[in-house]
Chains A and B, each alone.
Chain A
């Protein structure tokens, strides 16, 4: 029993353990070796099956930790992908988790990349949904995203407006999932009407495709406002229209000209040619850092008109044209007062 005797006999477990570990001792008998191994085995079993007994045992706890970690990972593995999104979206596909994650990027774009000047936001009614009507520019809907972000940041997240996006864009591969999570909704009457009745504000771009595909030569010249659908929806729901002028988004994606023939053969609405787009490939889709300003005009009340006047075609077209010229004059004023494209 060589060295076993000089260890405190009270701590029998550790003594036997040590004896086993210093197994090189030639005097050791086979029986001792066996009993030491058995003791180890018993400790191992204890540490695995009963964590209450194990805490003092260093070797055993390490094993138990690995097992627990492995178990935890195995249990969680199917849900690991869920971390990036909350797994809950609202009826229109907006995911609050995605918005929370995208917020730093949007805030960077607003404050440092485009240095957006916001004016007139205090004119927005403090309660209830509004229909924001803006001039469309650029190819990707950065303008809608920015208006939506600015309103959510300066008023409250609860009043984040949804922005309407043309069909060709909302079904664009890779863009579609993100647009919907960030609050983009396909532009159509049914959607606008439902959103407003649900109490959400909406950003609409009544120029539609004509606006998105504007070439650089026609920048800041507002096209016809569809067929007055925006005004009609606002009158039907009885909510105010707010004109919004966005300056700078035209220069973020300056479209030099459009490739009509190629677009027709590929079955898309148009292929824009910007100074960077087909040249740099997908990198050319990144917007340029122009200086932006977003100005909110005075709300135009429609509640007093009554839902029935929505069928008065002359009134609707007159209001639509007034709205268009209002936004056009806001754009003109802002253009006149801006220092330069890059600010």
Chain B
């Protein structure tokens, strides 16, 4: 097992990138940390050397390769993904798919030996014909109306291609499901923060979450040790959507699918640039992932789905009554 050299994190401003950098800065002495993003995050630790790079410009790959070479980077963690979908689909594609391509090219040029990529279990897609537990080898269907997911699917295909072309490099793809926790925020979390939560009438699928600490732990382990392959990063246990919402003290607004898919603005706490079914189908059909492989590699998760959800809910309550 080779000792990790210097680590570069792309997308330092994202939750995963930022928290991972802080964790590594706190625990790993003697490892150079490099961060890449558009802007320097506020209050960043001095141990992280920051380089501003715009992943969407065509020459980003050369620029990145130069930075990786200069900093002696050995491990790249790619987390430069939007935490919420945007209405600018073209820009989204440029960042998530083409930006990933730039990073892969730069990794090849700089001779990076370990690559960790953040994906999501949403790439499997919510489908009536999904088995109850989706393993890592299940085909990635995504959702026809969800561009943000389509970009991740495309990105995963690029990464798989790259991994096949660079057998010397250890490529880890981590697919966390929806992340819950005191600090994590994205469009999904904002949807679950609504006091009255719209759901699809007549459907009550099983849901699965992962706690932000367990997710970060998986990323940290994958960054420091070789774990080649694809891993679902999920908590143990599943719960029906209605049980989750009731346990969180929410009210359910059950709306027929035909109406819900035309409502753009109230449930737009979960505003996606996509058509609403790109989000609501995830609350209609099953897309629970099988976490066995990830648990074997990164250890037993600390929080179950219920505990992850309650940790999120209790932190929200604290904030409300502060």
Determine if B87 is an interface residue (Cβ-Cβ < 8 Å). Answer: no
A78-B249, A173-B203, A177-B204 in contact; A85/B243 too (CB < 8 A)? yes
Determine if B132 is an interface residue (Cβ-Cβ < 8 Å). Answer: yes
A87-B243, A171-B285 in contact; A194/B129 too (CB < 8 A)? no
Interface string of A216-256 (1 = CB under 8 A from B): 00000000000000000000000000000000000000000
Determine if B202 is an interface residue (Cβ-Cβ < 8 Å). Answer: yes
Interface residues of A in 178-208 (CB under 8 A from B): 180-181, 185-186, 188-191, 194
Determine if B201 is an interface residue (Cβ-Cβ < 8 Å). Answer: yes
The answer to whether B243 and A191 have CB atoms under 8 Å apart is no
Interface residues of B in 214-260 (CB under 8 A from A): 237-240, 242-243, 246-247, 249, 257
A93-B238, A177-B204 in contact; A82/B247 too (CB < 8 A)? yes
- Taking residues whose C-beta sits less than 8 angstroms from the other chain, chain A's interface range is 20 to 34
The answer to whether B202 and A194 have CB atoms under 8 Å apart is no
Chain B at the A interface: mostly helix, strand, loop or mixed? Answer: loop
The answer to whether B128 and A170 have CB atoms under 8 Å apart is yes
The answer to whether B202 and A173 have CB atoms under 8 Å apart is yes
Determine if A79 is an interface residue (Cβ-Cβ < 8 Å). Answer: yes
Which of chain B's residues have a CB closer than 8 A to the CB of A173?
Answer: 201-203, 257
Closest residue of chain B to A78 (Cβ to Cβ) is B249
Which of chain A's residues have a CB closer than 8 A to the CB of B205?
Answer: 176
Determine if A70 is an interface residue (Cβ-Cβ < 8 Å). Answer: no
The answer to whether A190 and B206 have CB atoms under 8 Å apart is no
The answer to whether A81 and B132 have CB atoms under 8 Å apart is no
Residue in A87, A93, A167, A191 whose CB lies within 8 Å of B128? A167
Q: How many residues of B are counted as interface, with CB atoms below 8 angstroms from the partner's CB atoms?
A: 25
The CA-CA distance from A85 to B239 in the complex, in Å, is: 12
Interface string of B196-209 (1 = CB under 8 A from A): 00000111111000
The answer to whether A93 and B206 have CB atoms under 8 Å apart is yes
Closest residue of chain A to B133 (Cβ to Cβ) is A194
Determine if B131 is an interface residue (Cβ-Cβ < 8 Å). Answer: yes
Shortest A292–chain B CB gap in Å is 29
Which of chain A's residues have a CB closer than 8 A to the CB of B246?
Answer: 78-79, 81-82, 87
The CA-CA distance from A236 to B203 in the complex, in Å, is: 34
The answer to whether B239 and A185 have CB atoms under 8 Å apart is no
The answer to whether B203 and A191 have CB atoms under 8 Å apart is no
Closest residue of chain A to B242 (Cβ to Cβ) is A177
Shortest B247–chain A CB gap in Å is 6
Determine if A72 is an interface residue (Cβ-Cβ < 8 Å). Answer: no
Chain A interface residues (CB < 8 Å from chain B): 78-79, 81-82, 85, 87-89, 91-93, 95, 167-168, 170-171, 173-174, 176-177, 180-181, 185-186, 188-191, 194
